[in-house]
């Protein structure tokens, strides 16, 4: 049964990867944007880790300085107790001095290690930021190439597609023919109305001449 579930899971994962690959092939810029968002999220996580490491280094440094100061203080107190012949107080101060000195050595190593780790994190963090910046620039280049490709595709559709161009020019020719017919009709109507007016005026003048004069 477990083998069956394993095969089903592997089959589903394989199908999912295939779908993602198909999606990436159809929209590579969209896939790049998704990858960039993931990189930005990871870079932000690393930035927080760098800040945390810096705070840890500062805390180690404070503890180191405190332990060192206390070791020196207990050493001085042991000297004072010895001069005063306070054996119990002297032994306590010496025991404290040894403990603080041991802690000082341990914290000194921790500070050095924290500084090295912080330097390494900062270096890699800067590399991540540069890499992310390069990818943003690459995305802008791809966007420019995609924009040019789309523009050329649309221009070629008009300039090189015979069917599209013929259809467009046919429409222009039809419109031009319609305008020519319209202009011709207007001119004919105007010319006809002008002739009718002139004939009517001639008929009117002719009737006036034929009318008998009243004595």
User: Over the stretch 135-156, which tens digit does the pLDDT of each residue have?
Assistant: 888 888 888 888 888 887 777 7
93 burial via Cβ count (<10 Å: 0-12, 13-18, 19+) = buried
- CA separation for the pair 53, 122 (Å, rounded): 10
Q: Angle, nearest 10°, between helix axes 162-210 and 87-159?
A: 50
At residue 76, the pLDDT reads 94
Q: 52-103 pLDDT, tens per residue?
A: 999 999 999 999 999 999 999 999 999 999 999 999 999 999 999 999 999 9
At residue 172, the pLDDT reads 60
What length does the chain have? 215
* 165 against 114, higher pLDDT: 114
Residue given tokens 């592997």 in the structure block: 10
Q: Angle, nearest 10°, between helix axes 28-83 and 2-26?
A: 110
With pLDDT > 90 as the criterion, what percentage of the chain qualifies? 32
Q: How far is CA 211 from CA 197, 204, 206, 214, in A?
A: 21, 11, 9, 9
Buried b (16+ CB within 10 A) or exposed e, 41-64: eeeeebeeebeebeeebeebbebb
At residue 89, the pLDDT reads 92
* 169 against 156, higher pLDDT: 156
Whether the predicted pLDDT of 105 surpasses 90:
yes
DSSP SS3 for 212: coil
Instruction: Check if the beta carbon of residue 164 is closer than 8 Å to that of residue 158.
Output: yes
DSSP SS3 for 76: helix
Q: In whole numbers, what is the pLDDT of the chain averaged over residues?
A: 78
């Amino acid at each position: 049964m477990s083998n069956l579930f394993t095969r089903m899971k592997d089959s589903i994962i394989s199908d999912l990867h295939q779908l993602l690959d198909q999606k990436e092939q159809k929209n590579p810029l969209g896939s790049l944007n998704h990858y960039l968002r993931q990189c930005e999220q990871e870079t932000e996580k690393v930035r927080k880790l760098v800040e945390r490491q810096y705070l840890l280094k500062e805390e180690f440094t404070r503890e180191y300085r405190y332990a060192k100061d206390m070791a020196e203080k207990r050493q001085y107190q042991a000297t004072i107790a010895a001069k005063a012949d306070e054996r119990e107080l002297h032994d306590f101060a010496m025991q404290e001095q040894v403990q603080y000195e041991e802690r000082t050595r341990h914290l000194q190593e921790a500070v050095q290690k924290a500084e090295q780790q912080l330097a390494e994190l900062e270096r890699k963090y800067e590399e991540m930021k540069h890499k992310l910046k390069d990818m943003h620039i690459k995305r802008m280049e791809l966007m420019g190439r995609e924009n040019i490709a789309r523009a050329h595709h649309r221009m070629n559709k008009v300039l090189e597609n015979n069917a599209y161009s013929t259809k467009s020019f046919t429409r222009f020719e039809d419109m031009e023919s319609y305008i020519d017919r319209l202009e011709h009709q207007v001119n004919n109507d105007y010319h006809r109305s002008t002739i009718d007016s002139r004939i009517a005026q001639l008929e009117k003048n002719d009737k006036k001449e034929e009318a008998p004069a009243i004595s």
